[in-house]
A and B are shown apart, each in its own frame.
Chain A
């Protein structure tokens, strides 16, 4: 793509190197720690699923027992597979059952025993990684067989009934109406659960739980739709909150195609401990990298709490940080659905040109990434007619700046969960704009010293200043200060901190090993 903003390459390089400087200490912290969810994800990759009669997953039961005996700092693999090698149980599930009944004692094996436990665990977890690899190949094959989405941006639609069996026909209907990507909204509050629920959700709050069974049901339904429609329909869910590593592993094994996975969202908007988040984040991104999953980052959220003009540079800053963390974890450019949103107050003069400037800046800073363009929410007032117009302008910016993923805006945003007719009207809006102006980006060249180019340069400049400060004072302190989304989140507070441990010398995790080998 030829450049339209004529960004100074030195400034762009500087921004990236500052993001690296700010991010590297965080990666080091992530490498030095593990979390309960990382260890449970490892057990899941080794094939341990299901839950006990109370609905507590076996991975939680087993890990809690291990932790009570030998702590978390050596990881789960050594004590668990040591117990299996010692024939405490014939398989993982039996071991989990025995452990939760208190009839197994765990220890940290040494010498040859440790070696045996390591290789046994690596074999078991390798099975899960192979499943993920197979699912990735399967996706590529299905895309080849059915065809891919007909054009970019991909049209991204949400279903959110709270009942997976209601979500399925809605999702299939949305696909028929033109959706290329279906996102199943998660039940409110799952972020703060320190376990992944089991089974199909019939009664969620404003969404369904991210569970392996829900993933499987919806993917199977959309496979049917893909066949019916002659194009592969992608499925999205959320790898976020306290269990993101486990959800990422389940997503990989059930062939989800995109996952919402932001490096800082949980910290800022769910008050999850920063260290917990960064450790979980890194592992989940390594899984996504392996699974060929496209991540969607959540920068749009900052603009729902902070002003979209004043805070524009915090979006760019976060995108650069997300990019650094993503690439460090092994994700490639095509997997980076970096987020941004159309949230400038329409009462601000030239708001549309400012939106164009911000969207174009993101496009040119990340030319290979399928950016995720999010519709207005904050200034949707309940005046559905005005909202429909705003959504039209949002779509136009999407078309003019080559966005990769377009989340379809609903005129009834802030009024009701979308009705059938809301979705139909919204898709007509998107289709009209893309058909009428889909190629407009070819003719659109902002004047070099005009408002758009100047504004983009200004935002980039402010981004470099902010990154400079963050790199200097440390990202954790910047987060504690309320730099992003105006939320103040200190590193020693927040939910899930009790599930973090500093790795001991002999720490071993076969999943990390296998994911980092590649």
Chain B
């Protein structure tokens, strides 16, 4: 049996949503009507334009509340569910020690022109993210963080030199799909430089990636917004040390 739900305002099944947007028209009654028309076309009925504010002479900003008639079928939702057990740092260390008998080497970088190290640092720096310590904290993981604006050839060279088990790359800048282009360039370079069986595990992260695109981009895993160091460490342990 499929599970159907509707948005929840204050009553089960009321279908209420909020929406804000700008139209490139001066504020007027007509503009408000236009906002209502857009909301209707988006499936909101009734749609209540609760706020309309002129922004300069040519634009109007709207906030709309209303009911949508759409149903969401939870069974038809496709997401990448975590397919590995979530381990504590202690368990990660133990599994690496037991199966690898050496430290697991993780190489991290922001590639291309991207200078935003927030993501890679949140995962690697001991400081960590969301109350979890970063991979540097794990005794059995050796972290080499190359920082920002690392070129793909340099990354490959370092992966060879460090005998990296896994390469973690973060990408924040998405202008003109830079994150996708960079990722493809990287996975191609690694496939070229390593025999398939020896290629390090390639992991990419960033707020704008679609986690389902790993195969298409030629990497082993994509982590999206809100990923914690513990999830990454658990994944690495699962794939490399079990």
Q: CB-defined interface of A173-202 with B at 8 Å, one 1/0 digit per residue?
A: 100110000000000110110000000000
Q: How far is the CB of B224 from chain A (nearest CB, A)?
A: 11
B115 touches A420 (CB 8 A): no
Q: A192 — which chain B residues lie within 8 A by C-beta?
A: 149
Q: Using a CB-CB cutoff of 8 Å, which residues 162-202 of chain B contact chain A?
A: 173, 175-176, 178
Q: A206 — which chain B residues lie within 8 A by C-beta?
A: 173, 175
Nearest chain A residue, comparing its CB with the CB of B176: A205
Report Cα–Cα, A270/B149, bound state, in Å.
8
Q: B225 — which chain A residues lie within 8 A by C-beta?
A: 382
Q: Please choose the segment from B5-13, B28-36, B37-45, B117-125 that sits at the chain A interface, where 4 or more of its residues have CB less than 8 A away.
A: B117-125
Report Cα–Cα, A419/B55, bound state, in Å.
12
A residues contacting the other copy or chain, number (CB 8 A):
27
Q: How far is the CB of A99 from chain B (nearest CB, A)?
A: 31
Query: With A421-B61, A487-B147 known to touch, is A188 a contact of B114 (CB < 8 Å)?
Result: yes
Report Cα–Cα, A425/B53, bound state, in Å.
10
B residues contacting the other copy or chain, number (CB 8 A):
25
- Is A398 located at the chain interface by the 8 A CB criterion? no
Q: Please choose the segment from A65-73, A146-154, A300-308, A441-449 that sits at the chain B interface, where 4 or more of its residues have CB less than 8 A away.
A: A300-308
The interface residues of chain A, by DSSP majority, are classed as loop
Q: CB-defined interface of A400-420 with B at 8 Å, one 1/0 digit per residue?
A: 000000000000001000011
B22 touches A419 (CB 8 A): yes
B22 touches A421 (CB 8 A): yes
The one of A271, A419, A421, A486 in contact with B125, judged by C-beta atoms closer than 8 angstroms, is A486
- Is B218 located at the chain interface by the 8 A CB criterion? no
- Is A162 located at the chain interface by the 8 A CB criterion? yes
Q: A419 — which chain B residues lie within 8 A by C-beta?
A: 22
Q: How far is the CB of B135 from chain A (nearest CB, A)?
A: 15
B148 touches A269 (CB 8 A): yes
- Is B207 located at the chain interface by the 8 A CB criterion? yes
- 7 new A-B contacts at CB < 8 Å, known A173-B56, A270-B149, A271-B148: A189-B115, A205-B178, A270-B115, A271-B147, A307-B127, A419-B22, A421-B22
Query: Can you list 27 residue pairs at the A/B interface with Cβ under 8 Å?
Result: A173-B56, A176-B56, A188-B113, A188-B173, A191-B115, A205-B173, A205-B175, A205-B176, A205-B178, A206-B173, A206-B175, A269-B115, A270-B115, A270-B148, A270-B149, A304-B118, A305-B125, A414-B207, A419-B22, A420-B22, A421-B20, A421-B21, A421-B22, A421-B55, A424-B53, A424-B61, A487-B147
Chain A residues within CB distance 8 Å of chain B: 162, 173, 176-177, 188-189, 191-192, 205-206, 269-271, 304-307, 378, 382, 414, 419-421, 424-425, 486-487
